[in-house]
Structure 1
Amino acid sequence: MADLTEHPLGSQELIHGDFLHAFRDQVRLPDGSTSYREYLRHPGAVMIIPLLEGEDGALQLVLERQYRYPIRQAIIEFPAGKLDEGEAPLVCAQRELLEETGYRAREWARAGLLHPTVSYSTEFIEIWFARGLSLGQRKLDEGEFLEVFTATPQQLHDWCREGRITDGKTLIGALWVQNTLNGSWPLDWRPVAGDPGP
């Protein structure tokens, strides 16, 4: 296989905001020529796929509706959030699930990893499933507004097909839901190893 590595020659910080940290690097390309790459550094994030079993045994998925300013619309998403400095992904998943939805989970399973914007960001998102949910009080961040609701797996897939769901990570989550529920992609469920707090 060809070596496609681009080697950094220098880096310039473009912006260091509360959230965005942007750089412009000079790189040596595989053919020896040079070019520039602009990108964002991101600490990483998690997405949670919460499985809620109803009283009748029917499976529901916990979802959110949140306004996303850059695209000027409210979109449907699975719960998700950014890693705090030094925070383990499972701890972040537990914290975000509780803060955004009010749910705690008895069991967790790591599904996989995705890179949502490889052309301009270092961001990665770990995908976690949660089950054995119990509802408590949610603790939204200041300035955070979102609606929590449930849907069946079939509704989720219909919304993806119809274009009602356009969020990339949630589309990937729907793929995981489909393949997990049909037995193609089994999960390694484990009892919760920690607690994000009261």
Structure 2
Amino acid sequence: MSDNPDRHLLETCVASEILCEGSFLKGRRDTVRMPDGSTSAREYIIHPGAVVIIPLLDEAHVLLERQFRYPVGQVMTEFPAGKLEAGEDPLRCAQRELLEETGHTAEQWAHAGALHLAIAYSTEIIHIFFARGLQAGQRHLDADEFLDVCTLSDADFSAACRQGGVTDAKTLSCALWLQNVRSGAWALDWRPA
């Protein structure tokens, strides 16, 4: 049996309690045994997981959304995204969310990677997808969803990130992916829809 080189960093759950349970998120408090044998508390949110899509309109433009986000009380510019339904495949979720929110379908998809959004207090993982060969169609917004779809050049998107017009963490992380994919530094494995 091989020894884990990170063993001196690991925490082990010894007790767990539910703090709250909503229809979307759950709050937990765990008592954990620390590497030195002492105990401590960890409070965190259980999240079902999500996807974010970087829709490439052409060689120099991307599709984004503007939407009011209640917890921060402002309209945010961000890439299309959405939460996974129970048991849903992340690619299928990405395809569903792109169509529902923007009305677009894509001829090709590429899984870029994963993003752990708030590692100190949430289990949330966001699967990052690129979409290209976009075809416009009819949006299918949820009853409680109100958003605008907009197009930005890569240069304008980069400027918005730099100047504080984009502050959403997942979208800022996707800016790194976009920059490196566009420059050819990072390759993607494109697949048909």
TM bin (shorter chain): over 0.9
User: How far 1:20 sits from its partner (Å)?
Assistant: 1.8
Structure-2 residue corresponding to 1:169 = 170
For the pair 1:14 / 2:15, whether they are aligned, the reply is no
Structure-1 residue corresponding to 2:107 = 106
Q: C-alpha distance in 2, partners of 1:19/1:131?
A: 30
Note the 1:30-41 alignment, pairs <5 A.
30-41=35-46
Structure-2 residue corresponding to 1:185 = 186
For the pair 1:145 / 2:146, whether they are aligned, the reply is yes
AA at the equivalent of 2:110: A
CA RMSD of aligned residues (A): 0.9
Cα deviation 1:122-159 (Å, max 9, x = unaligned): 00001000000001101011111000010011111101
For the pair 1:46 / 2:47, whether they are aligned, the reply is no
For the pair 1:72 / 2:73, whether they are aligned, the reply is yes
User: How far 1:68 sits from its partner (Å)?
Assistant: 0.6
- After the TM superposition, which parts of structure 1 deviate over 4 Å for at least 4 consecutive aligned residues? none
AA at the equivalent of 1:25: D
AA at the equivalent of 1:165: V
Structure-2 residue corresponding to 1:195 = none
Structure 1 unaligned segments of length 5 or more: list them: 193-198
AA at the equivalent of 1:15: C
Q: What TM-score comes out, normalization by structure 2 length?
A: 0.95
SS of aligned partner of 2:48? coil
User: How far 1:59 sits from its partner (Å)?
Assistant: 2.8
Q: C-alpha distance in 2, partners of 1:188/1:152?
A: 23
Structure-1 residue corresponding to 2:130 = 129
Cα deviation 1:9-38 (Å, max 9, x = unaligned): 011001111122000001000010001100
Q: C-alpha distance in 1, partners of 2:161/2:150?
A: 16
Cα deviation 1:67-117 (Å, max 9, x = unaligned): 011110001000000000010000000000000000000000001101010
Q: What TM-score comes out, normalization by structure 1 length?
A: 0.93
Q: C-alpha distance in 2, partners of 1:70/1:191?
A: 37
Note the 1:74-89 alignment, pairs <5 A.
74-89=75-90
Identity rate, percent: 57
Q: C-alpha distance in 2, partners of 1:142/1:59?
A: 33
Q: C-alpha distance in 1, partners of 2:79/2:138?
A: 18
